[in-house]
Structure 1
Amino acid sequence: MLAALTFNTAENLPVGLLKLISEDLRVSLSAIGLLVTGYGVTVAIASVPIAHVVRAVPRRHVLTGLLTALVMSSLVAALAPSYWLLLVARLLTALAQALFWAVMGPVAVGLFAPKIRGRVIGALSVAGSLALVFGVPAGTWLGQQSSWQVPIAMLAALGLVYLVTIAVLLPTSRPEEEPAAYATSPDAWRFGTVLAAGALSATGAFTGYTYIVTFLGDVSGFSPTRSAPCSWFSVSRAWPG
C-alpha cells in the first residue's frame, strides 16, 4: 500500500509544484504540465508491452527493480538542472509505474485468502487515492516551504525504505505459481468495457486537476500558502476513493 501511495504521489506531485518548477527552470506552465501529461501517456502506452516482456520474471525481483528505478529517477529529478533532464527523469519513473500497477495487484491479492482479496484490492485503491488527498498536498506544502526539489527527494527516500522491505520480506515465486495469476472465467468484452470507462474517467480527472493550483491562484485569487489545502479538498472531491 505504501509503495502504491509513493508511486501515485510521484505521478501527480507536479500538479502542486507547477509554478515553483516553472519559475525555477524558466519554462512555461504548459511545458511543466507535460511532466504530468507525458507521464500519463507513457504509462498508458508502456504498461502492456513491459508486462509482457517480464511475464516470466519472479515478482519480487520485478518489484525491487521498479522501486530501484523510482529511487534513482526521483534523485535525478531532484537534482535536475534543466527542464529536459527533469522530463527524462519523469518518463523513467513513468516506465516503472507502468509495470508497477500491472504487477502489484496480483502480488498483493496472492498473499491473502480468496475470500478477502476484494478488500485487498480496495485497500490498494485507497492507497492510490491517498496520494491525491494527502501525498500531493503535503508535497506541495513542503515545496512551498523549501523548494520543489525537496518533496521529490523525499519520494526517493520513501522508495528506498519500501525497496528494502520488499526485497527482504516478499516471497520469491514465478508468476505462474502465484495464486492470483489467472482468472477463473475471464470475459474480454467486460474487461474492455471496464478499460474504456477507466480511460475516460482518468482523462477527465487529470484534465481537471493538473492545473488546479494555477486556477486557484490566477483565477480564484487564493494565496500560494492556501492553494495546497484548497487543491487537497478539490482533488479529493473530484477523485472518489
Structure 2
Amino acid sequence: MLLALMLAAFTFNTAESLPIGLLELISESLRVSVPAVGLLVTGYGVTVAVASLPLAHVTRAVPRRHVLTGLLAALVVSSLVAALATSYCLLLVARLLTALSQALFWAVMGPVAVGLFAPEVRGRVVGALSVAGSLALVLGVPAGTWLGQQSGWPLPVATPAALGLVSLVTIAVLLPTSRPEEQHAAYGTSPDARRFGTVLVAGTLSATGAFAGYTYIVKSST
C-alpha cells in the first residue's frame, strides 16, 4: 500500500511539473507563446494553493479510500484529455482539473499513509513519501522531457494516466474503507502551533523560490 501511495505522489508531482521541460514543444504545437505555456505551471500551482484547504474541509467526512480513488480517477481522465488537447484552452482546463485533484491529494494522502503504520515508524513513512515526490523532479520531469523530444509532448503528458491507474486499482482493492476520524493518525499527539506555523512559512518560501526559477532555467538552457 505504501508503494502505491508513493507511486501516486510521484505521478502527481511529475504531472505538475512536466510542462517545464516541454514549454517550447507545446508552444510550437498549439501556436501560443512560451509565457502562455508557462501559465500551465503557474496556474496549476496557484490552484493547488488556493483549493487545498476548502476541498479538504468539504470532504472531511468522506472515507479516504473513496477520496483517493476519485482523485486518481480524475488524474487519469485529465491526463488523457490534456494529451489529446488540440487547443490551449482545453489543455489549460485539463491541467486545472489535475491541479484540483492534487490539491486534495496531498491533504489526504499523508494522514492515510502514516495511519497504516505504528507511531514509531511514521517519520520514515513521511520521509518515503517525500522522496517519492522529489523523484518527480529528479527522474519524472527529465524522462518526460526526453520522451517529448523524441515523440512529441502528448505522450509524456499521457504517461501519468497509466501510472495513476496502477495506484488507483491498488488503493481501491487494498485500502480499508473507514471514516477519517476513525483512522489512527486522525489527530496529532502533541500539536504545536508555533512549530506548525514555522513549517508553513518555510514550505511556502521554498516552494515559491523553486517554482519561480524552474521555467527560467529551462528557457535559458534551450
Match of 1:154 in 2: 159
* Displacement after TM superposition at 1:211 (Å): 3.0
Aligned to 1:198: 203
The alpha carbon displacement at 1:202 in A equals: 0.4
After TM superposition, give the deviation of residue 152 of structure 1 in Å.
Answer: 1.2
Q: Alignment length, in residue pairs?
A: 217
Question: For residues 99-114 of structure 1, what are the structure 2 equivalents within 5 Å?
Answer: 99-114=104-119
Contact 1:15/1:212 (<8 A) preserved: no
Structure 1: which 5+ residue stretches go unaligned? 218-241
Corresponding letter in the other structure for 1:83: Y
Instruction: Give 1:17's aligned residue.
Output: 22
Counting only pairs closer than 5 Å after superposition, residues 51-66 of structure 1 correspond to structure 2 as 51-66=56-71
Question: Which residue in the other structure is 2:3 paired with?
Answer: none
**Residue of structure 2 equivalent to 1:184:** 189
Cα displacement string for residues 185-241 of structure 1 (whole angstroms, at most 9, x for unaligned residues): 222222122111110110000011123221101xxxxxxxxxxxxxxxxxxxxxxxx
Task: Specify the alignment match of 1:90 in structure 2.
Answer: 95
CA-based RMSD of the aligned residues comes to: 0.7
Q: Distance in 1 between matches of 2:13 and 2:160?
A: 10
Task: Provide the TM-score with structure 2 as the length reference.
Answer: 0.96
Query: What is aligned with 1:67?
Result: 72
SS in 2 for 1:13: helix
Question: Within 2, Cα distance between the matches of 1:150 and 1:211?
Answer: 24
* % identity of equivalent residues: 82
Q: Distance in 2 between matches of 1:162 and 1:185?
A: 32
Give the drift of 1:155. 1.0
Structure 2, unaligned stretches of length 5 or more?
A: 1-5
Contact 1:15 1:211 in 2 (8 A): no
Q: CA deviation at 1:20?
A: 0.3
Select 1:124's aligned residue among 119, 124, 129. Answer: 129
Task: Tell me: higher relative CO, structure 1 or 2? Use CA pairs within 8 A at least 6 residues apart.
Answer: 2
Q: Normalization by structure 1: what TM-score?
A: 0.89
Which amino acid letter does the alignment assign opposite residue 123 of structure 1? A
Q: 1:153 Cα shift? A: 1.1
Following the alignment from structure 2 to structure 1, what is the Cα–Cα distance between the partners of residues 16 and 216?
A: 14
Q: Name whichever of 64-73 and 206-215 sits farther off.
A: 206-215
1:44 aligns with 2:49: yes
- Structure 2 CA distance, aligned partners of 1:95 and 1:195? 20
CA shift, 1:46, in A, is 0.3
